[in-house]
């Protein structure tokens, strides 16, 4: 198999079909020439592959989708306008028509709000578990309407690791799908499909694009799940939108087989709700992907050094970084993350909210922003910013208290970053 770093530069794009341009061009075109009547009909019926209208597919976005599908080891991908569009569409596509989703309490804030508060308005309900790695707790919640388990591969800001392999096995024993958000590690550090995940979603805004300059998301389909097992009527009912060339209605499972999920995302969710990724953002993500292995490996090395330093820094009472050897998750780290869990870490300080405020205000190199995975180093106080919308018991499950500070480590010199943290912490007391 071609190496990851080679695929990050070449997969999913052919210069010959694109005016010999070596860098993927930005196709700023709303629609595409159908050429002749027969081809037009075949394209519209989905019998022939090609581009018609950029709400459904665009050549620049297509290159990003093919590249990310290759990097994750999936059969196909759909890029979307944001990570939350990817999360929402994936959960709705699985839970559509009265389904239930089992989810971890320590999810990204907007995902907690979607599952706990908003998707129920559309008839999709969630059952939250305290510990996604407690298989008994998970299994006890699987009922006749359960459609999927949803977890983050590495939680933010605790960096807790989800034990994917047994979770996938449990899900498949019950005919339900495993959907994971792989944003924090990026496919460079973890390829969840290799451990049994059925659907992988990302906020490409973070490590994948890597420069804090474009919002985007993606859904990748492993293409292995049987959507005709009786739990998912949305894939077996026939629909006009995918009628064949004679006009006969078809079902997504009948028409597309193992690609039913990703086709439904594109043909129903993207086509109807329209959270399209712009060609310009796809271009920025493709540029970012070219250096993903180099960026993430340097960031992991720096994050590890910073975590080790903070563990011995006065006023720091706890460091959360599963990359450190001293956490209870050491075995999971060794199994799933031989190259580290990512560029995020968090730490607890003593004192009160005023000390936290002085540290945030005292750093000079770190940018104070609610983002992760940037080339710049970032700092935030989750309780006031990123986890504000999360109910308190969920927040505590995620380890977010008033004296927690989250860092996302960028590409600056690690010595400069450590010196900056040292002066800010020392000056805060
Ligand atoms: C940022 C993030 C999202 C949401 O992505 P957007 O691109 O901001 O919509 C979802 N999940 C995780 C884990 C994230 O970090």
326 vs 335, more confident:
335
Lowest mean pLDDT among 104-113, 123-132, 199-208, 386-395: 386-395
For ligand 1, whether the C-beta of 106 sits within 6 Å is no
Residue 196 Cα to ligand 1 middle (Å): 22
Q: pTM of the full predicted structure?
A: 0.97
- Residue 326 confidence (pLDDT): 64
Structural domains of the chain sorted by starting position, each given as residue range(s) with its CATH number in brackets: 4-287 (3.40.640.10), 293-426 (3.90.1150.10)
Mean pLDDT of 309-334: 89
Ligand 1 atom index nearest CA of 215: 7
For ligand 1, whether the C-beta of 108 sits within 6 Å is yes
Tell me the pLDDT band of 355, cut-offs 50, 70 and 90. Answer: very high
- CA-nearest residue for atom 1, ligand 1, is 203
For ligand 1, whether the C-beta of 205 sits within 6 Å is yes
State percent of the chain over pLDDT 90: 90
- pLDDT at residue 399 is higher than 90: no
Mean pLDDT of 273-290: 98
pLDDT tens digits along 136-177: 999 999 999 999 999 999 999 999 999 999 999 999 999 999
For ligand 1, whether the C-beta of 378 sits within 6 Å is no
Lowest mean pLDDT among 72-81, 239-248, 360-369: 239-248
Tell me the pLDDT band of 330, cut-offs 50, 70 and 90. Answer: confident
Pocket test for ligand 1, best of 79, 86, 90, 205 (most atoms within 8 A of CB): 205
- CA-nearest residue for atom 4, ligand 1, is 83
State percent of the chain over pLDDT 70: 99
Pocket test for ligand 1, best of 109, 110, 213 (most atoms within 8 A of CB): 110
- Residue 86 confidence (pLDDT): 98
For ligand 1, whether the C-beta of 82 sits within 6 Å is yes
Ligand 1 atom index nearest CA of 371: 1
Residue 52 Cα to ligand 1 middle (Å): 29
291 in the Ramachandran plot: left (φ > 0), alpha (ψ -120 to 50) or beta?
A: alpha
Residue 378 Cα to ligand 1 middle (Å): 15
Residue 238 Cα to ligand 1 middle (Å): 33
Pocket test for ligand 1, best of 84, 85, 152, 160 (most atoms within 8 A of CB): 84
Residue 334 Cα to ligand 1 middle (Å): 26
- pLDDT at residue 1 is higher than 60: no
Tell me the pLDDT band of 14, cut-offs 50, 70 and 90. Answer: very high
Residue 182 Cα to ligand 1 middle (Å): 10
């Amino acid at each position: 198999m071609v190496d990851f770093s080679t695929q990050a530069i070449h997969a999913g794009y052919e210069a010959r079909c694109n005016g010999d341009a070596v860098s993927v061009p930005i196709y700023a075109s709303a629609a595409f020439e159908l050429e002749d009547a027969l081809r037009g009909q075949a394209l519209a019926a989905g019998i022939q592959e090609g581009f018609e209208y950029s709400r459904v597919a665009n050549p620049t976005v297509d290159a990003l989708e093919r590249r990310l599908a290759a990097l994750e080891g999936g059969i196909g991908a759909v890029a979307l306008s944001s990570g939350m569009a990817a999360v929402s569409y994936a959960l709705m596509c699985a839970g559509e028509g009265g389904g239930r989703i089992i989810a971890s309490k320590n999810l990204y804030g907007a995902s907690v709000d979607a599952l706990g508060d908003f998707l129920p308005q559309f008839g999709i309900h969630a059952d939250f578990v305290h510990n996604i790695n407690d298989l008994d707790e998970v299994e006890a919640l699987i009922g006749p309407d359960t459609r999927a388990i949803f977890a983050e591969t590495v939680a933010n800001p605790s960096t807790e690791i989800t034990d994917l392999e047994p979770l996938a096995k449990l899900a498949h024993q019950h005919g339900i799908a495993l959907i994971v958000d792989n944003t924090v590690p990026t496919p460079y550090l973890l390829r969840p499909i290799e451990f049994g995940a059925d659907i992988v979603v990302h906020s490409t805004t973070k490590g994948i694009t890597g420069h804090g300059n474009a919002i985007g998301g993606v859904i990748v389909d492993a293409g292995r799940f049987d959507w005709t097992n009786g739990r998912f009527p949305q894939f077996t009912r026939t629909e006009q939108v995918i009628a064949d060339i004679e006009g006969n209605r078809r079902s997504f499972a009948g028409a597309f087989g193992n690609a039913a999920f990703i086709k439904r995302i594109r043909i129903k969710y993207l086509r109807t709700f329209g959270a399209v990724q712009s060609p310009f953002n796809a271009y920025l993500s493709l540029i970012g992907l070219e250096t993903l292995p180099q960026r993430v490996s340097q960031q992991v090395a720096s994050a590890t050094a910073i975590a080790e330093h903070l563990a011995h820094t006065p006023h720091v009472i706890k460091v959360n970084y599963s990359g450190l050897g001293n956490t209870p998750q050491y075995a999971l780290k060794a199994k799933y993350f031989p190259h580290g869990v990512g560029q995020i870490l968090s730490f607890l300080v003593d004192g009160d909210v005023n000390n936290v405020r002085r540290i945030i205000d005292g750093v000079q190199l770190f940018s104070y922003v609610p983002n992760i995975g940037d080339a710049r180093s970032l700092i935030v106080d989750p309780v006031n910013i990123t986890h504000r919308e999360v109910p308190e018991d969920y927040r505590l499950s995620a380890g977010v208290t008033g004296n927690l500070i989250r860092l996302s480590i960028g590409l600056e010199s690690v010595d400069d970053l450590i010196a900056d943290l040292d002066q800010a912490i020392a000056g805060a007391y």
